[in-house]
Amino acid sequence: MTKPAVELAGVTKRFGDDVVAVKGVDLTVNDGEFFSLLGPSGCGKTTTLRMIAGFEFPTEGSVRVHGAEMGLKPPNQRPINTVFQSYALFPHMTVAENVAFGLHMKKVEKSDVQRRVSRVLDQVQLSKRADARPSQLSGGMQQRVALARALVNEPEVLLLDEPLGALDLKLRQAMQVELKDLQGRVGITFIYVTHDQQEALTMSDRIGVMNEGSLLQVGRSEEIYERPTSRFVADFIGDINLIDVTMNGSNSARLSSGIEIGVPGGGEQAGNQVTLALRPERLALYDLDEAIPAGHNRVKARVTRRLYYGDVYFYDVDAGIGTEIEVKEENRPGVELYDVGEEAYLVWNPEAANVVLS
Amino acid sequence: MTAPPLAAEPETTAPITPELERAAIKAESRRGFLISLPAFIYLALLFVVPLLLVFVYSFATRDATGLTVLDDWNLESYKRLFTEIVLEIFVRSLLLAVVTTAICLLFSYPFAYYIATRSPGLRNILLIFVMIPFWSNFLVRTYAWRVILGSEGPISQISLALGGEPIRLLFTNTAVLIGLVYGFLPFMVLPLYAALERMDWRLVEAARDLYADGWTSFRKVTLPLSMPGVVAGSILVFIPSLGAYVTPAILGGAKTTLLGDYIVSQFLAARNWPFGSALSFAVMFVMLLATIFYFRAGAKTL
């Protein structure tokens, strides 16, 4: 079995005396994996990436690449390349010169450089712009040059720091697919930093969610989305209702309105205050006289707002627990609509909820 | 009370036609010209007119008493430029200017780089240090060098204390060089700082990421991108060095005449205004050529 592409062990980064950018991160990224570091700005994900690249050194801890300890090695001695957020293309060089830079530095033979540069430019469909300056290219093209400039070196690990952040939505979505395909083709380990949860969910094999310097949860996209282990992760990824309840028994809890509901069993003690995380699409509205599926929770609520999104309807409902609850209903043919002020039952399967730490 | 409008403009709220739009654009450009008029007049009266006078004088004749005769136009003064003594002075001045520029560049680049990479607060303090010398008179500062470089000065004293010979630097070319470098250093530091401060350091990170070591990434990225600063600083140092008068006059020796000194002596001691004028024009021509050449060379690396 091959060694993990990147291993971080107890990595902490302090700036000065009071700023702790990264707190004791342990992380293993497998070989050939598309791994995303996801979190809000300032969560330490970029600092983590910079420590892997060698632009920053950890205050404590160890960074290994395919088993080799990186220590205080400068970036030029690491088998890693980076695609920068701002692309950082050399403005005084042509596209081809930009792409050839790394190969020249590695003293690759001239004819070989030419062959590899033209091949990678072909891959990113920029062969025709080889002699252009970066400033003459659109944002999307610059992005592809940055990608080509890194990939041409065939690094063991490719780091990407919000590479699609500056692109508009359509182009970003197209590039997401392209990047994911590309990663599959070249088989290089990608570590992808983003604050866009949708991007992380669609592209990654696994995701690590960071907040305030700590790595909170690592898992496949589905695990992160369906089974968040903390309030932060639940709240950060996608839309979610966070409902404070008091445990009543191992499988039941009481809402603040006093109504008893079923919750997934998780060993929480009766009397404990916990937070229930419920995705809006796991909730449904039923008429007051309609039959509900067996074993489902049923709470009476009043519709306070209805928003039309085209493919879905979003409802805000008041179930008498202080906070409004969001419900997402698919816009199927014949879907029953509820008007503002109308009463309905809020229905969900107890197993669809997650008990997270408050 | 309301102030009257700057220019009588036809104010209208009627729908705009191409004629109206053109009139508005014209009025705007006229305002711009009016604002810059004081500078235009100043330059015309005190720079262009005297320059033309010098140009006219360079073709005039000097009579036996040393007066300039404004007829009998000829090229004698220009022919004299190619005599051995003039060429020798010219080559010496050129060499001194080139060496001064080179030393300034060599000293200033690391310093400007250091300032540009400090925290914003520290940067300002360091820049103030660069500018502090400007707060005292240039002449006074140059005379201070007389004391430092003289045979009784600290440099000589240190040499003596270490058991060496007394060092007499004053009135040598070295003294002039030291004085020029001292005087023009800030003119090199500031444009270099401006260029380096604008520098996108992520480009250097990109170079390091692409396997360039520190020196190579400097050579391939930082230096080419700071070329505008190198060009601007070099021109700002080279041109005044070539025509320097005060520093050589105070620190230089009688045996080492330089262009500035030589031109002054033509106007005063020798009373040969036509030749002095021709010399001035020749120096300006060389400066122009050097500037164009340098700009071209600088532009090429970008």
CATH number of the domain within which A213 lies: 3.40.50.300
Poorest-confidence range of A85-89, A334-338, B4-8, B79-83? B4-8
Test A84 with B220 for CB contact under 8 angstroms.
no
Query: Does A52 reside within a domain?
Result: yes
Domain end point (choices A204, A234, A264): A234
* Residue B1: pLDDT over 50: no
The mean pLDDT value of chain B amounts to 89
| B118 compared with B151, residue with greater pLDDT | B118
Are residues A44 and A161 located together in one domain of the fold? yes
Query: Does A18 reside within a domain?
Result: yes
Are residues A211 and A245 located together in one domain of the fold? no
* Residue A343: pLDDT over 90: yes
B-contacting residues in A 141-160 (Cβ below 8 Å)? 149-150, 153
Are residues A158 and A263 located together in one domain of the fold? no
- pLDDT tens digits, residue range B234-293? 999 999 999 899 899 889 877 778 999 899 999 998 889 999 999 999 999 988 998 888
Query: Does A1 reside within a domain?
Result: no
**Residues of chain B above pLDDT 70, percent:** 94
Q: Strand ranges (DSSP E) for B167-235? A: none
Are residues A211 and A286 located together in one domain of the fold? no
Give the structural domain span for A82.
Answer: 6-234
Domain end point (choices A215, A234, A253): A234
Instruction: Please report, for the domain that includes residue A318, its CATH number.
Output: 2.40.50.100
Residue (of A196, A195, A278) closest to A231 by Cα position: A278
Tokens of A201: 């969910």
Gap between the Cα atoms of B157 and B151, Å rounded: 8
Are residues A149 and A53 located together in one domain of the fold? yes
Test B224 with A80 for CB contact under 8 angstroms.
no
Are residues A229 and A260 located together in one domain of the fold? no
User: Is A91 at the interface with chain B, CB within 8 A?
Assistant: yes
3-state secondary structure B177-196: HHHHHHHHHHHHHHHHHHHH
Residue owning tokens 């020749």: B282
Are residues A343 and A222 located together in one domain of the fold? no
pTM of structure: 0.83
Are residues A185 and A300 located together in one domain of the fold? no
Gap between the Cα atoms of B149 and A232, Å rounded: 71
Query: Does A129 reside within a domain?
Result: yes
Q: Looking at the partner chain, which of A75, A86, A89 has a beta carbon nearest the beta carbon of B209?
A: A75
Are residues A156 and A249 located together in one domain of the fold? no
The nearest CA of chain B is from the CA of A100 a distance in Å of 10
Domain end point (choices A234, A251, A270): A234
Mean pLDDT of B193-218: 95
Phi then psi for residue A152, to 5 deg, are: -60, -25
- pLDDT tens digits, residue range A135-149? 999 988 999 999 999
Query: Does A243 reside within a domain?
Result: yes
The count of domains in chain A is 2
Residue (of A181, A169, A153) closest to A76 by Cα position: A153
Residues of B in contact with A54 (CB under 8 A): 208
